[in-house]
């Protein structure tokens, strides 16, 4: 029923029609059936875990905290790596992603917000908005700081290339392992099914939960102009993005979990990269935010 409503909404006018031909979402979900035909192996499970880990980090630390909020600095080469790996998640490119996210922060849970579960519903916020052509174009006026990098424009224009490169890498590894170590019970097609298709769908839904779940379910530490909430299980699945009320109070922080018990794996990895010299100038919550956190009285809400 929800999908039918999305179909009707997106077909309401020419500029908002459904992206049946360009959106990978429907195909990606159907393709996951392939895991039942390629079978299971521990190598396939490892591929699933590694591709999930790498791409969730590239999206949370790269697309979100770096490209959208400039919460830390890095080299041009590492910036390209974050963009390439993040784009292999099949969520288009970093410029499209950052432009839409900046728009969300400017209009969070207001009528202009393109994926608010408060204004529309959870299904629309979670996945429905991605299916509409009205939100497929890059809003260049919101990402002028990124347009000076031709390599980012290249990735956004040819966003299928990182996807294909991951598929090719997984297939090659599986083929080599099958040739050299047949007792592992793996193959090129099996690794593609587990390490790309199934992994990508998992990455879709955990990152989409930040748009839907964390504006409905959780607790509010700060009084903000939206319904952003802190949700511990979304934080675990997304490596720290679930501390969403914290984030909406101070979006430019590279750290989203404010205290030691608010696990923020993306930030821990960024700190490790900082020690290695790959990133620097990680922004953090200033002292005034911690003071505000102790003074603000907001009743826990768990709708």
pLDDT band at residue 126 using 50, 70 and 90 as cut-offs: confident
Domain edges within the chain: 2-295
pLDDT of residue 116: 85
- Which residues, in sequence order, are CB contacts of 202 under 8 Å at separation 6+? 48, 52
pLDDT of residue 111: 84
pLDDT of residue 135: 64
pLDDT band at residue 122 using 50, 70 and 90 as cut-offs: confident
Please state the pTM of the whole predicted model: 0.90
pLDDT of residue 221: 92
Q: Do the Cβ atoms of 208 and 127 come closer than 8 Å?
A: yes
* Terminal Cα distance for the chain, rounded: 23
pLDDT band at residue 252 using 50, 70 and 90 as cut-offs: very high
The model's pLDDT over 142-154, given as tens digits with 9 standing for 90+, comes to 999 999 999 999 9
Q: Is pLDDT of 70 > 80?
A: yes
The model's pLDDT over 185-216, given as tens digits with 9 standing for 90+, comes to 999 999 999 999 999 999 999 999 999 999 99
The model's pLDDT over 236-248, given as tens digits with 9 standing for 90+, comes to 999 999 999 999 9
User: Per-residue pLDDT averaged across 91-115, rounded?
Assistant: 89
- DSSP letter at 173 equals H
Which contiguous run of DSSP H or E holds residue 122? helix 122-126
pLDDT of residue 16: 44
**Cβ-based neighbour number of residue 263 at 10 Å:** 16
Q: Is pLDDT of 297 > 80?
A: no
pLDDT band at residue 164 using 50, 70 and 90 as cut-offs: very high
Cα 180 to Cα 210: distance, rounded to the nearest angstrom: 42
pLDDT, greater one: 262 or 138: 262
């Amino acid at each position: 029923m929800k999908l039918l409503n999305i179909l009707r909404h997106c077909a309401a006018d020419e500029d908002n029609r459904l992206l049946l031909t360009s959106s990978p979402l429907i195909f990606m979900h159907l393709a996951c059936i392939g895991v039942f035909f390629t079978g299971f192996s521990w190598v396939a499970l490892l591929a699933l875990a590694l591709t999930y880990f790498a791409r969730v980090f590239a999206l949370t630390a790269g697309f979100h905290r770096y490209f959208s909020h400039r919460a830390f600095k890095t080299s041009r080469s590492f910036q390209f790596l974050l963009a390439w790996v993040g784009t292999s998640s099949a969520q288009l490119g970093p410029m499209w992603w950052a432009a839409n996210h900046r728009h969300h922060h400017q209009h969070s849970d207001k009528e202009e917000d393109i994926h608010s579960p408060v204004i529309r519903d959870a299904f629309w916020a979670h996945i429905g908005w991605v299916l509409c052509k009205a939100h497929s174009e890059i809003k260049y006026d919101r990402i002028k700081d990124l347009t000076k990098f031709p390599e980012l424009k290249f990735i956004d224009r040819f966003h299928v290339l990182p996807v294909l490169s991951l598929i090719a890498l997984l297939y090659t590894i599986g083929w080599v392992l099958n040739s050299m170590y047949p007792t592992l019970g793996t193959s090129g097609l099996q690794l593609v099914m587990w390490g790309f298709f199934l992994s990508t769908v998992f990455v879709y839904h955990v990152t989409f939960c930040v748009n839907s779940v964390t504006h409905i379910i959780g607790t509010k530490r700060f009084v903000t102009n939206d319904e952003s909430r802190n949700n511990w299980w979304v934080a675990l699945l997304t490596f720290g993005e679930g501390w969403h009320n914290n984030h909406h109070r101070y979006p430019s922080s590279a750290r989203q979990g404010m205290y030691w018990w608010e696990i923020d794996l993306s930030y821990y990895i960024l700190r490790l990269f900082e020690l290695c010299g790959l990133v620097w100038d990680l922004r953090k919550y200033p002292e005034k935010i911690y003071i505000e956190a102790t003074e603000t009285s907001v009743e826990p809400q768990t709708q």
